[in-house]
Chain A
């Protein structure tokens, strides 16, 4: 899939910096307060930083600039977090508010969610350009950043990477690093629920190289959260998981498995 969007990572952004990250993140909570919502999403929205470019992703601009690959990955992650938060808002308190007669409120919310989904489609199909002239990372940190970018579904072509590296450093990437960069795969974001034994299930999620990423893995309502250095990807859990209690995660090189125990009180077997 491709879009007409072009994203440059490593450039000095021409706008979008200079705002206070905390004040923008707090805006969401402040907006929620006056209308009677009670922090439906504080855990998810915490530490989001709109100045890192979420507004840019939502803009109609055909060329976006980010300071680094890591910043782009973080911004996409923030966009996804906000989108999920808005969906939850719609499903709960916001629906109540609409029911109290605030005209068109839900329509506006749906339009904003739709715009976020369109932004996500555009960025996934964007032409990615790397520029290390202003900020030259080490190969190791770049590998980490590109892994984070792959976690949120965006791929960087090896040829583009090698060309940018050569231009800025006047040296070629070693074969070892080329091989490592080429091994990065985009996270496809699906899991399989397997019955292990009576009342015990396993959710298996595959992603090549995840064992080397040192991920944090968690659950937020009906979403599985995979966090690599603050960049998060979300996987909608199978509906049956809402009746199960997650246990520990077994992490191996190319997959992880979450143990799930059925809550017998909520899901009695006939």
Chain B
């Protein structure tokens, strides 16, 4: 197996990927093994289609959820 393939394999589980992104091992060690052992290759391939917006989710469709920050009108005194 080539080095490139080895790299792909080693970074396809969540724990390895987080470490490769700079997360300290002390953090990944705190996570349950069923999470760190997840094969995230399918998730990573999906990331291009997953999006979250800060505080304005659903702004285009006009709906609101309890999980949004509800910004209040500010009047200057």
Q: Chain A interface (Cβ within 8 Å of chain B)?
A: 15-16, 19, 22-27, 29-31, 33-34, 39-47, 50-51, 55, 58-60, 102, 104-105, 108, 111-112, 115, 211, 215-221, 225, 246-252, 256, 258
CB < 8 Å neighbour of B75 from A41, A58, A251: A251
CB < 8 Å neighbour of B77 from A25, A220, A247, A250: A250
30 contacts between A and B (CB under 8 A): A19-B22, A24-B21, A25-B52, A26-B51, A26-B52, A29-B52, A30-B46, A39-B57, A42-B67, A43-B55, A43-B56, A43-B65, A43-B68, A51-B22, A58-B27, A59-B26, A105-B32, A112-B31, A115-B30, A211-B77, A217-B72, A219-B69, A219-B70, A219-B72, A246-B72, A248-B72, A249-B74, A250-B75, A251-B76, A252-B76
Residues of A within 8 A of B62 (CB): none
Q: Chain B interface (Cβ within 8 Å of chain A)?
A: 14, 18, 21-24, 26-27, 30-32, 34-35, 38, 40, 43-44, 46-47, 50-57, 65-77
Q: Helix, strand, loop or mixed for chain B's interface? A: loop
Question: A42 and B69: CB pair below 8 A?
Answer: no
Residues of B within 8 A of A22 (CB): 47
